[in-house]
Structure formats: structure tokens, C-alpha cells
Amino acid sequence: MLRLYDTRRRQVEPVVPQGARSMRMYTCGPTVYRHAHVGNLRSYLLADLIRRVAERHRVRVVACRNITDVGHLVDDAETDPTGEDKVLAQARAEGRTGLEVARFYEEAFRADTATLNMRPPEHSPRATETIDLMVEMIAKLIEKGHAYATPDGSVFFDAASFPSYGEISGNRLDQLKPGHRVEGVDPRKRFHADWALWKPSDREMTWETPWGRGFPGWHIECSAMSLRFLGERVDLHTGGIDLRFPHHEDERAQTDSAVGHEVVDHWVHGEHLLFDGRKMAKSTGNVVLLGDVTEAGLDPLAVRLALLEHRHRQQMNLTWDTLRAADKALRRWRSRVAEWSESPSRPMPAERVSRIEAAFDDDLDTPLALRLLRELERDDSIAPGSRFEAFLHLDQILGLDLSIDIGRSPSLPPGAAELLEQRLRARGARDWTASDRLRDELAALGVRVADTPEGQTWSAGTH
């Protein structure tokens, strides 16, 4: 069964209860004010891989990934109400309304995830369409003594009312200092580490509540939506490592306080992605979008393959060279699958496939899985038909469209597939005389054969 590193418990453990046939998974979705870059997309690939591996175990996954289209401050780590909403700031820059900007970038995000073969979640709620859920939850937290309203219309969560705060990130309340954007302690707060659940404002995209007009704090959105769409027991919560604190700490405190018990069983985080050794940022000019990859003439799924070369818990440095190498490998695999499809089908090499599947089960050890897959590709002792079946089976997890070239290349003439298989065996036995003779026979049939470091390749056509 799938085992993952649980950030809160600091260990690798099974994430689906023994005998369970379903799994509920929540993923923190995008703030839709700009295009997602490939570093953002790495976090969503993590959730997609988890889903694909779980489904291979015949576990039905019910996934929820929210859309944050309001209330997200410029500095995510602060709850300073004078901070600016990212969506509205972008709307002003583009001369559009906040909702127009949000919907545009939401569609762009959906297109990018579809291009990378990420399966859509069952639930994709928008913050602007679930305000009533947040207001109801805030009222419940006030009633239970976990939150308090202030005269200006703000509502804060009482951090001290949740003693186990810090179990995910290790940032305990008694160690936290006031934020760098706030001089001294906010006088409205009982404790400087309290955070805003509701913020007063009369700007665009605000709502009337019992505490006055305003908009929700960032953290309350995920709490309200996860409870509404997944219920009070969530098996798995994923997100980037940057969300571990404060977002996931605050979300856990809110959700558990409202319900009265631990809601999320496992917290799983993906590490940062660097590009050319630096964190992706507009200021450094190294932000790479999926569109940049396709404009460079590379298959967008080369991004998916490149990201699979590192484990989700490892910081990864992506470069254009690694993307070009991934694109080359992807095209080679598709060509080989198309070539193998011309051979008679054979049963998969069960032991080899099981080892690759076990690597995915072991905390998503994708580098090992790819290494074993390359060994299988080069092993000419395994019949082409067997390798064909294995690669297509494993592509259900890889999501690389490895069968896309089948039928695109010219079909082999009668008898050529058998000669190619004989030549592979001859080369494996270092019988160069037979190898050369078979090359000539294939050439007479119009099949040109080339030997590359990755193995034998062929092309068919007139001769």
C-alpha cells in the first residue's frame, strides 16, 4: 500500500487505512491572479501522483482542490489588513474587474493542469462562491470560544485556545514573534500570534456579515471548503512546503477547533523547485511558464517527466538542459513503444513491473521507478511485446502519453518485426555477423535500422 512521509508525525507511514476502498484528499489550490509557473505546478503533480498510485490499488479517491479568488494578501505570511489583495491588484493593472481576472487565470490554470495530464478533482470550489460556509464556521468558532470579534469588524482566531499548535511545522506559539510588517503588537489582538478570520473593508469583492462588511482571511477558506466537500474525516492533505506555516498550521487549528477532533490524518508536502539554482521570482526574471516550454519546441509533458526525476520531498533545480533531456527521453520512449507495438503481444514481466510499482508505493520514489524503467527499456532479453505491455501499464501512473505515436509511424512490413526481434537477440549474444545479415534483410524490406546508446531503433519507408 502507498506510504508517504507525514510532515506532522515526521515519518513515512501508510496513508490509506488497511482495507479502505476510498480516500479523501484535499489540496490547497491556486490564487488566481497570474499564470502558474512550473514550480507551482510541481505541488499539483504531487497530488496527481498520489491519486494515480492509490487508484492502482483500487482505492477510489475523492479529491478537493479549491480556487482562491479573493482575500489573498500580497505577503502571504502576514494578516495585516492593510495588505493588498493579489487578485484586485492584478485587476487594476490589467484594467479589468477582480472576477474577470480571477476567471481568466483560473481557466489558464485548468488548461495547464490538463496539459500535464493531471486528473481534475471531484470538487473545485471557489472562495467567492462559498463565503456563507466561512461565515458560518467563523460564527461557530466564536461560539466555542476559539475566536473573537473586535469593534472595527475584524474577527481573530484565539491561537492560545489551540494547545497543539505547531505540530506540523514545529513553530510553537511561545516561540513566535510579531510579523515584520507590523510595528509592535496589533492592539486589536489578544495575542500577537492570533490571525484574522475576517477583515473589514468596503472595497470591491466584499460581503456583509454579522461583524460588518469585509472579506475572509486566507486560512479560513480551506478550512470551510474541506469540511463542506470532504467532511470531518480527511485522509490526506497536500500542498507545497511553503504552506506548512502559517497556512496549514492555522487551517488545522481552525478546522479541529470547529469540529472538536483531529480532522486530517496525514499532511504531505512537496519541496521547492528552483530554476537555474534560484527560487522562481518575477524580480529575478527566471519564472518559467508551461507556455515558455512549448514555445521552446519542447513537449509540455517533458516538464512532467523532468519533475519525476526527483522525489517530491527533495528540493529540485530545474534547467533548460534538464527539460531538453527529458523531452528527448520522452520522444525516445514513445518511439520505442510504437516500435514494440508492431511485435506480438506478450505478458508483462511481472517481477520487473512489481519492483517499479513498489518504488511508487515507497514514498513516491519516482527516481528509482524511472531508473528501473530505463533498465527494462534496454533489456533486449525481454520480448518487445512484453515491454510494450509494461510501459503502457506503468504509464497509467506516469501520465506521459507513451502510446501517442502508435499508428503515426509507418507500419512494419510482414516479417520485419520477427527480424528485428532476432537482431536484438543477436546483438545481445554479440553475434555481429548475424546482426549485420539481419540488418541487410531488413533493409531489403524497406526498414532502416540504427544502433544508438539507448538501443536499436528503426524507420520504415521506401528503399
Boundary (domain end) residue, out of 270, 285, 308: 270
Domain range for 114 is 3-270
Residue written as grid cell 506480438? 344
Boundary (domain end) residue, out of 237, 270, 303: 270
Boundary (domain end) residue, out of 270, 305, 321: 270
Return the CATH number at 258. Answer: 3.40.50.620
- Answer whether residue 355 is part of any domain: no
- Answer whether residue 312 is part of any domain: no
The annotation status of 222 as a binding-site residue, yes or no, is yes
pTM of the model: 0.86
The annotation status of 28 as a binding-site residue, yes or no, is yes
- Answer whether residue 171 is part of any domain: yes
The annotation status of 72 as a binding-site residue, yes or no, is no
Domains: count for the chain? 2
The annotation status of 282 as a binding-site residue, yes or no, is yes
- Answer whether residue 368 is part of any domain: no
- Answer whether residue 354 is part of any domain: no
- Answer whether residue 341 is part of any domain: no
Segments in 408-460 forming alpha helices (H): 416-428, 432-444
How does pLDDT run along the chain (463 residues), one tens digit per residue?
899 999 999 999 999 878 899 999 999 999 999 999 999 999 999 999 999 999 999 999 999 999 999 865 544 344 344 456 788 888 888 888 888 899 999 999 999 999 999 999 999 999 999 999 999 999 999 999 999 999 999 999 999 999 999 999 999 988 887 754 445 678 899 999 999 999 998 888 899 999 999 999 989 999 999 999 999 999 999 999 999 999 999 999 999 999 999 999 999 999 999 999 998 877 777 899 999 999 999 999 999 999 999 999 999 999 999 999 999 999 999 999 999 998 889 999 999 999 999 999 999 999 999 999 999 999 999 999 999 999 999 999 999 999 998 876 566 787 888 888 889 888 888 899 999 999 999 998 888 888 877 678 777 764 3
- Answer whether residue 58 is part of any domain: yes
The annotation status of 64 as a binding-site residue, yes or no, is no
- Answer whether residue 399 is part of any domain: no
